[in-house]
Structure 1
Amino acid sequence: MKVKNEPYHQAYKRIWILLLLFLPCQLFAQDVNIIKGNVRDATDATTLIGVSVKEKGTSNATSTDQNGNYSLKVSKTNAQIVFTYIGYVAQEVALEGRSNLDMKLNAESRGLNEVVVVGYGTQKKGEVTSAIATVKSEDFVKGAVRDAAQLVQGKVAGLRITTPSGDPTASTQINLRGLNSISGASEPLILIDGVPGSLNTVSPEDIESIDVLKDGSAAAIYGTRATGGVILITTRQNKSGSKSTIEYANYASVQQIAKKPEMLSATDYRRLISEGKPYIDYGGDTNWLDEILQNPVSQNHNVTIFGGNNTTNFTGSVNYRDWEGIFLRSGQKRVNVRASLNHAMFNDKLKTNLQIINRVTKSEQGGADGYAYRQAIIRNPTDHIYNEKGKWQERDIYNYDNPLGRIYETTSDNTFKEMRINGSLAYSPVKDLNLKLMVSNVQNTNLYGNSTTFDHVNTTKAQLNGTASRSTYANVENLVEFTGNYSKTIGKHNFSVLGGYSWQDAVYETFNAYNFDFPTDAYSWNKLEAGSALQRGLATMGSYKSKWQLAGFFSRLTYNWDEKYLFMASIRREGSSKFGENYHWGSFPAASVGWRVSKEDFMQNVSLVTDLKIRAGYGVTGTIANDPYMSQTSYNFTYDQGAFINGKWVQGFVPARNFNPDLRWEKKKEYNVGVDFGLLGNRITGSFDYYTRTVEDLIYNFRVPVPPYLIESMLINAGTMKNSGFEALLNFKVVDAGAFKWNSNVTYSSNKNKLVNLSNDKFDVTADFFDAGYTGEPIQTSTHRVKVGGPIGQFFVLKSVGVDENGKWLVESKDGKVISISDSSPDDRQYYGNGIPKYLLGWNNSFNFKNFDLSVNVRGAFGHDVLNMQRMYYENPVNKAYNALATAYDPKYGKQLNNDLVYVSDYIEKGDYIKIDNVTLGYTFGDKLVKGVKNLRFYVSGLNLITITKYKGLDPEAVSYTGDFTFAPGIENRDAYPTTRTFTAGLNVSF
């Protein structure tokens, strides 16, 4: 047995020897395939935390720790290692058998190599041939901003952003390159990660960058929605799969009214009474404006979480904002929640994203509005807040109410909810080809309630015995987009082809009900049927529903040779249900070219010029009608037109709208020529643009003959408008000396417009103008006139030239003669000033010294006028029942005014201003201050700090130029919610 078993023992022995000899080889091989290293910033050698380190072509990946170190197991010794980090240039390095690989990453260039977002994709800025402006998060306006627009206020040439109201429920107003429509929407299209939204869709803390497509060649790919420009908002995403991070941002702010009107005080009243003026002294001393004002304290909290790895990662954020208003019982609370999940499969060939945004905004307040502000202005300062019974002191005077009574005896509640869900699949079946499917569903609802008590003037004066109303609306909007993009480089030829399809539909419905004469005011709006006005047929109720669809096919070709000669062409074919049956479809082409002059051989020895690009473009965009069904015949039931039939009253059935099968979109044709440049090693960068745009087929409500038409007005396409302007952007690295840095940015823009005509080949207007704007009562006249051949925004007014011996206005007649205002007629009115600024200026500065940072933002508008309605109504003491401005008895033309309230040019003032708009000072502590805490920064900020102007009103920027004021810009309304000044203290920290 022993002899027979010997070969087996020898075999086992040989096997063990071989295993022992092979094991070190295996251990050695495993050691070779584990690489380690450290990643730092190439400029200052600071460690970079969360850098993605990946073996190319595999799922092997990791990220750097808090010390910038990493360890990665790779499959082969000659692997390609890819380092990526947000804000830095990605690097790919061959391992070549090394087990230790340190890396230094360079920050992305802020010049022409910067990547910008364009329609349905991205491009290097140096390859862009259109007018596109980009603002990154590090350059946003700091402090307590209202919405996304304020982040870039004064930083984009040609983009006018104003905050005309201090109301915490109001939003900014935004306009790009002037007015471009009469009846259609002129605001820019806002896209949040490609999905239509608003400036309030996401919180400002959740935004990574904002890109503005300014000219037609850039915006044409969005067709009928793009005449007002396109603003692309990109939210923060955990693209790098970095180590889990939590960021917290918080601020608290205090507001005050920016400027108070100086009204007559109780002391002034008694002095004037002693001088024989017929005022009434009620024996009190009340500063009514101070009584309705408060110094609100507001707060904002934002938490953002990044987590996951290179395969699956997520971003989540929660924002809570509680803003109080400067009026008593005014404010708004808002909660924004966003979650975004990314997952990659099949070696990154298939990438998915799911994003959910939930927004809830709630306003609970009383009657604190512009009308209550008016009542505080006009209230007799000698009057009392309460009467002898402890009730609100009211007087039997027309439109003269106790402002505190209006505020406290009114309850209003507004709740807005929005749920947005969008997802995308991006698939790359072969190299250079990318397919993407995106779908989204947006649902929003709004519920509003308003009621007044038995102590409100609705009851104490109007005997309505309590009022209550309830209204709601719901909107559901769906979007489906499929795109394919193929990019290829062959030698020095670089091109990409994009094709896509888009479908959008929306359903909107609303309901409202109002009743009064309740048995008790305890119900508020929660028992509307209890009001007896319903039984008397005096209550009101209404409902409405609409639906529209929009479909589009689009394509784009980009080509460049050696990144030197650049070309882009696109076209969108779009159809809308909002238009007539003969014009459901339209085409929107665009083309642009560019020349990178700095890449030519003859420029290589020109040390002054670092980058230089000349570009030119042309594009057609459209403006869609605001409402559906405007091309279709409509009939309404009416109570005041009907007949008795068989002893029963039958409601009338009357036409409400004419049939117009030719209704179509307004078309804007725009040319743009521009230059992008970098000088002195990009110490100075910038761009210049000149544009001219013509809007044809303006949608306008014409008067038409009856018959053959059913009613005397009809919405048709007629008229042409022109705009042109110049824009400049200059960026300076003024100082870049180690611990101290100073960067400065200047934006400038000019714009002029003209209404060319108001006719087409079928309809011709009987008058070559239309009036706009309204003074309100008791003056009751229009304020502006828009005339063919003239610019938009012109005031149309009696020109005041003096005051006669009786205190009556002297005005200039149409013949140039001086006449009494009593002898004037409407024909004597003339054009006087314009409410649209000719020039806009922005100057933004950021300073860094060691751990300190300071930013100063300055803005200005010039070449425009403002109608000072507070002066027009309250600087004339003709009505002694109302209070007046302290200047009411100052001489005008050396005489005391004694005239009825009228609209004359004396109240139109130069509106030029410069605002020191935002100043923020911050300090960032080192990462070693508290273990585990990074980027700890404290700051203080002031918003709307100083306004330099000769304008006598409250704020020359407190004017509206959208909605009802589109053609009546430059009016500081007497019922406006005053603008505010804000002081903020906050902190940012990450873990």
Structure 2
Amino acid sequence: ALEEVVVIGYGTQKKADLTGSISSLKSSDITKQPAMSAMQSIQGKAAGINIIANEAPGSSPNVIIRGLGTALSGRNPLYIVDGIAQTDINNINPSDIESMDVLKDASSASIYGLRAANGVIIVTTKKGKTGTTNINYESFAGIKNVLNRVKMANADQFRIFANEYLTSTNGSYRLAENQKYNTDWYDELLRTGSVFNNAVNISGGTEKVDYFVSANNYTENGILEGSKFVRNTIRNNNVYKFLNNRLKFSQNLNLTLTNATPKPYSAFTTAYRQSPLAPVMFDNGRYGLGRVNTTTGVAGIEAAPGQAIGNLNSIGNPVYEVLRQNERTNTLRLQGSFEGEFKITDYLKINSRIGGNKFYSKQRIFNNVKDQWLNANTLLNESDFIKLKENNPKALDYVDNSLKYENLEQFRWSIENFLTFNKNFDKHHIEAVVGMSREKYDINSMSSQTGYNVPEQEQYWNINLAKGTTNYGIVALQTSYTPRALASYFGRLQYNYDSKYYLTATLRRDGSSVFRNTGKYWGTFPSVGLGWTVTNESFMKDASWINLLKVRGNWGKLGNQDIPLNVSTILTSPESSNYNYVFGPEQNMVYGSAYGTPAVNLTWEVTRETGAGVDFAFLNNQLSGSIDYYHKLNTNTILDVTPTYTSPSEKNFYAHGAKVLNQGVEVALNWNKSISPEFSYTFGVNYSYNKNKVTEVVPAYDRATGGSLNNGEITKQLRVGQPIYGWWMFEANGVFQDAEDVKNYPSFGAAKPGYLKYKDQNEDGVIDSRDKVFFGSFLPTSTYGINVGVNYKAIDFNVSGYGVAGNKVYNGLNSVRSNAGENIALSTFENRWTGAGSTNEHPSAERAYWASSHFL
């Protein structure tokens, strides 16, 4: 294991010679846990990496390495695929990957400068090997279901709860027993999803060329009806060898085509809130909504003369919400690199690499407004819709089908040249690399939309194609162009004496066009790492059971230029203004940001990191692992600032407003045991602890708030000593039991028996915002993984587990329930306050909805 080679950026190094913290994962680590993305496959297999899956088919997981240090800027790591930078690796078939090396600390990652603050993940794809041609086929299938689904109140429980609310608030009606409908919206909304994957590759090589060719199809049907993602990839990696391998040319090409039909995951929220008394579909064929006969108290749209139909709530139908969205997104990505390597001498070589990444996306969204209108007006019919069109043709914007096309085009190209020196001088070993790179990244988008009489038949979904007159049609065209460029110079020196004492020094200088209007083009990012392999000392010779004991330490600076695109627009637009033009009959011009938005002296975020670690291996390398400590400070976090003056078109601006610290410990342990040549097993655990804390806030931005709920309640605040935007709210302190209790205890606004009490933190007899306190964070303090593997002959059995701890989740859906007509979780019904002494923890059906610790 100590002789394994890891990729460190512009080179490789033996694992035993590292001075930084790098987690290495091989192809077998990835393919043993089948998934759409390689990042999902390595979840729980490396300490300090928090991978948060997004369950929408085809979506990229969020990856946070060593804590969250930024409020607005990019949070995901930089990906380097065969030497070429990209923003994610969803376009890569996981079985095409040879290795993934995660550069977690400044000593390892600073070679990538201002893009490395969130860590760097280097992906190396497979190559052919000289010898016999190999043909491999891989296939897997699976199902997807929602586990631990929230149990909701049924129709009778909802009726009881709602009537308690209506009685307490003197409502105008009560719900009757024996309701007509009892809908479990999650049962109606969800289905069993499926996953199918098939991949084949051919590899081999001769003295002159090595080759690898693969093809892959991945198909995923989501848990929402109609949601689907299909990805097809073709890869070709070749290496051409000349002059007895002194001259090599390599080519890596990957073509990815995807087709997605996404569905709105907001339907989960709608399903939580919609009443079980509303049906999926009424008897007249319209999709059900929260309607109720206020005379009889029966939910539905049936009414006799003199009876009125009212609204239980204003929530939509989650099933219809999914079925009515007709959206399709097709993408094409061609990624490739061409590299030449020439060995000038045995210890000196030069590399030149050209890379390109072309991405094209076409999105189409069709809205059948007639169906939406009819289902929102369940007592009207299609003739009413036609009559509205005939009598008010200028209302076509609101009652006709609409079609939108959006095209996105991205092109990234880069060129890199670097020289590598690698030579031994007796017991001294020196390896050095110097180089330069240039990169250009362009983003073009164009969207067009028509709102006039689009036919329902898909073959006619073309912009400007409409039946009849187009006098009142609207065709809008919007375009945007965002260019970025990066120029870099870098160097790294690695020295070791007798494989005992190690030094790594890195320096990178980057110039970024993102900040060209501020005059701060260039930044310098140095780092240094030291190492001492204790086991190579003479005094350790008798400790034969200790195979490795190495101590490491490092320091460095990293940058983050991945600020929001609208910040970049403000920075680079003339006079700090950004104009978007809408073309149509009325020729309206809409301002993207207020003219004269304050000039902001922004530059990239800078992270300073210090770390130390120990690597060890015992008992003939059967037990191995590492322990790492890090102190990672973002010294100039970018915050969203509200202007002191506002206008209808005024936008927030941005400024460096805080310092955010992440510090923690990572532990990884692995046990590998071979019982016989045919039987072996492995057991691995990893654990990381991270403490996130704001250490400084510019006074003007101190105690900035965030996390607004639908009812306007604020749940988060930025304050020194707390996690970045930690939970900030009232502390629930029991339930008012009776009128005397209400009279003798302070409340926030008018209170009743059954309302939550809030603790008077400053004991001034008044409940107000000064009584709000912190309750931890949405960020976990601990992540952990467990991996078990058993191998017998050609059979592998593997089990992996992953988890987080120390974070708190706020139940906003429960806390913002606005009236009696919205559904509740079964636990809310069963645990509610029903009278004095029934409970001192949970509120009644009617309660104030202020943000508090009760909902954490």
CA separation of 1:483/1:660 partners in 2, compared to 1, >3 Å: closer, same or farther? farther
Structure 2 counterpart of 1:27: none
**After alignment, is 521-530 or 300-309 more displaced?**
521-530
Q: Which of 264, 279, 283 pairs up with 1:369?
A: 264
- 2:534–2:551 Cα contact (<8 Å) kept: yes
Shift of 1:132: 1.0
Verify the 8 A CA contact 1:141 1:150 in the aligned structure 2: no
- Whether the aligned pair in 2 keeps the contact of 1:729 and 1:745 (CA below 8 Å) is yes
Partner of 1:792: 724
Distance 1:811 1:896, change over 3 A: closer
Query: Is 2:127 the partner of 1:237?
Result: yes
1:544 equivalent to 2:488? Answer no
Q: What is the CA distance between 1:870 and its match in structure 2?
A: 3.9
Q: Distance in 1 between matches of 2:588 and 2:121?
A: 54
Q: Deviations over 1:211-256 (max 9, x none)?
A: 0101001111100000000001111111x22211111001111222
- C-alpha distance in 2 between matches for 1:401 and 1:714: 35
Moved more, 857-866 or 249-258: 857-866
Deviation, 1:453, is 1.8
Quote the Cα distance in structure 1 between the aligned partners of 2:45 and 2:36: 16
CA distance in 2, matches of 1:313, 1:734: 34
State the distance in 1 between where 2:847 and 2:93 align. 49
Is residue 809 of structure 2 the alignment partner of residue 882 of structure 1?
no
Structure 1 pair 437/812, CA: closer, same or farther in 2 (3 Å)? Answer: same
Conservation of the 8 A alpha-carbon contact between 1:434 and 1:486: yes
1:946-974 residue CA offsets vs partner (Å, 9 max, x unmatched): xxxxxxxxxxxxxxxxxxxxxxxxxxxxx
Deviation at 1:701, TM superposition (A): 3.9
- 1:801 matched to 2:733? The reply is yes
Amino acid at match of 2:323: Y
Q: Which runs of 5+ in 1 are unaligned?
A: 1-109, 641-647, 760-764, 910-991
**CA contact under 8 A between 1:338 and 1:355: conserved in structure 2?**
yes
The one of 79, 104, 111 aligned to 1:190: 79
**2:826 alignment partner, SS class:** coil
Kindly indicate whether residue 498 of structure 2 is the aligned counterpart of residue 562 of structure 1: yes
**Paired position in structure 2 for 1:317:** 214
Deviates more, 1:413-422 or 1:283-292: 283-292
2:7 counterpart residue number: 117
Checking the alignment, whether the CA contact within 8 Å between 2:106 and 2:609 is kept in structure 1 is: yes
The residue identity in structure 2 corresponding to 1:724 is: Q
Match of 2:224 in 1: 327
Structure-to-structure mapping, 1:173-184, within 5 angstroms:
173-184=62-73
1:608 counterpart residue number: 545
Aligned to 2:771: 828
Tell whether the 8 Å contact from 2:683 to 2:789 is kept in structure 1 after alignment: yes
Deviation at 1:419, TM superposition (A): 0.8
Select which of 314, 323, 333 maps to 1:408: 323
> How many angstroms apart in 2 are the aligned matches of 1:830 and 1:705?
26
* Mapping 1:753-764, distance limit 5 Å: 753-759=692-698
Deviations 1:571-594 (A, max 9, x none): 011101111443111111111111
Letter in 1 for 2:675: D
**Is 2:152 the counterpart of 1:211?**
no
* Matching residue's letter, 2:849: V
Which AA in structure 2 matches 1:301? N
> Are the aligned partners of 2:278 and 2:289 in contact in 1 as well (CA < 8 Å)?
no
CA distance in 1, matches of 2:267, 2:651: 39
For residues 634-655 of structure 1, the C-alpha deviation after alignment (integer angstroms, 9 at most, x for no partner) is: 2245999xxxxxxx99988984
- Over 3 Å counting, the alpha-carbon distance change for 1:712 and 1:842 in structure 2 is closer
Equivalent position to 2:255, from 349, 358, 369: 358
| 1:64 corresponding residue in structure 2 | none
Q: Which residue of 2 aligns with 1:591?
A: 528
Structure-2 separation of matches of 1:903 and 1:721: 29
1:297 aligns with 2:194: yes
What does residue 840 of structure 1 align with? 783
Q: How does 1:549-948 map to 2 (within 5 A)?
A: 549-579=485-515, 580-626=517-563, 627=565, 628-632=568-572, 633-636=575-578, 655-656=594-595, 658=597, 660=599, 662-702=601-641, 714-734=653-673, 736-759=675-698, 765-775=699-709, 777=710, 779-804=711-736, 805=738, 806-816=753-763, 824-873=767-816, 879-889=819-829, 890-892=831-833, 893-894=839-840, 897-900=844-847, 902-909=849-856
Larger Rg: 1
Question: What SS class does the counterpart of residue 833 from structure 1 fall into?
Answer: coil
Structure 2 unaligned regions, length at least 5:
168-173, 292-310, 378-397, 739-752, 834-838
Tell whether the 8 Å contact from 2:182 to 2:277 is kept in structure 1 after alignment. yes
Whole-angstrom distance in 2 between the partners of 1:317 and 1:656:
53
Structure-2 change in CA distance of 1:531 and 1:613 (3 Å): farther
Cα gap change, 1:381 to 1:121, in 2 (>3 Å): same
| TM-score normalised according to structure 1 size | 0.73
Larger helix percent: 2
Q: CA deviation at 1:141?
A: 6.3
String of CA shifts for 1:414-448, please: whole Å, max 9, x gaps.
Answer: 11111112110011122211111110111101111
User: Is residue 2:367 matched to residue 1:427?
Assistant: no
Q: Report the 3-state secondary structure (helix = DSSP H, G, I; strand = E; otherwise coil) of the residue aligned with 1:334.
A: strand
Deviation at 1:613, TM superposition (A): 1.1
Q: Specify the SS of the correspondent of 1:578.
A: helix
Contact 2:239 2:249 in 1 (8 A): yes
Shift of 1:898: 3.5
Alignment of 1:160 onto 2:50: yes
For 1:585, the aligned partner's letter is: W
Measured in 2, the distance between the counterparts of 1:476 and 1:466 equals: 34
Helix, strand or coil at the partner of 2:322: helix
Determine whether 1:346 maps to 2:236. no
Amino acid at match of 2:758: V
Cα 1:443–1:435 change in 2 (3 A) is same
Which AA in structure 2 matches 1:609?
I
- Which moved further from structure 2: 727-736 or 240-249? 727-736
Q: What is the correspondence of 1:53-92 to structure 2 with a 5 Å cutoff?
A: none
> How far apart are residue 739 of structure 1 and its match?
4.2
Question: Which residue does 2:358 correspond to in 1?
Answer: 443
What SS does structure 2 have at the residue aligned with 1:631? Answer: helix
Q: Give the C-alpha shift of residue 307 in structure 1.
A: 2.9
Aligned in 2, Cα 1:279/1:371: closer, same or farther, shift over 3 Å?
A: farther
Q: Secondary structure at the match of 1:261?
A: coil
What are the Cα deviations for residues 281-307 of structure 1, in whole angstroms up to 9, with x where unaligned? 651343332222222332110011113
Q: Which residue of 1 aligns with 2:402?
A: 467
**Residues 832, 905 of structure 1: 8 Å contact kept:** no
**Contact map agreement 2:211 2:238 (CA 8 A) in 1:** yes
Q: Check 1:309–1:790 CA distance in 2 against 1; reply closer, same or farther (3 A cut).
A: same
Q: Secondary structure at the match of 1:605?
A: coil
- What is the Cα-based RMSD across aligned positions, in Å? 3.0
| Offset at residue 525 of structure 1 (A) | 4.5
Rounded Cα–Cα distance in structure 2 between residues aligned with 1:556 and 1:226: 16
Q: Could you tell me which amino acid in structure 1 is paired with residue 636 of structure 2?
A: D
CA distance change for structure 1 residues 272 and 617 in 2, over 3 Å: closer, same or farther? closer
Give the TM-score of the pair, scaled to structure 2.
0.84
- Counterpart of 1:375 in structure 2: which amino acid? T
Alpha carbons 1:321, 1:334 under 8 Å: kept: yes
| One-letter code aligned to 1:719 | A
Q: Distance in 2 between matches of 1:662 and 1:767?
A: 16
Matches within 5 A, 1:92-111: 110=1
Q: Give the 3-state SS of the residue equivalent to 2:770 in structure 1.
A: helix
Separation in 1 of the partners of 2:140 and 2:191?
A: 20
Tell me how far apart the structure 2 counterparts of residues 630 and 270 of structure 1 sit (CA, whole Å).
Answer: 53
Deviations 1:587-632 (A, max 9, x none): 1111111111111110011123111111111111111142334434
**SS of residue in 2 equivalent to 1:898:** coil
Q: Relative to structure 1, is the Cα distance of residues 901 and 252 closer, same or farther in structure 2, using a 3 angstrom cutoff? A: farther
- After TM superposition, give the deviation of residue 555 of structure 1 in Å: 0.7
How far apart, in 2, do the equivalents of 1:125 and 1:841 lie?
A: 23
- Say if 1:871 and 1:711 are closer, same or farther in 2 by CA, change over 3 A: closer
2:626 and 2:469 map into 1 onto residues whose CA distance is 64
The answer to whether the Cα contact below 8 Å between 1:279 and 1:881 also exists between their aligned partners in 2 is: no
Q: Secondary structure at the match of 1:167?
A: coil
2: CA distance between counterparts of 1:282 and 1:496? 79
Decide which moves more: 545-554 or 737-746. Answer: 737-746
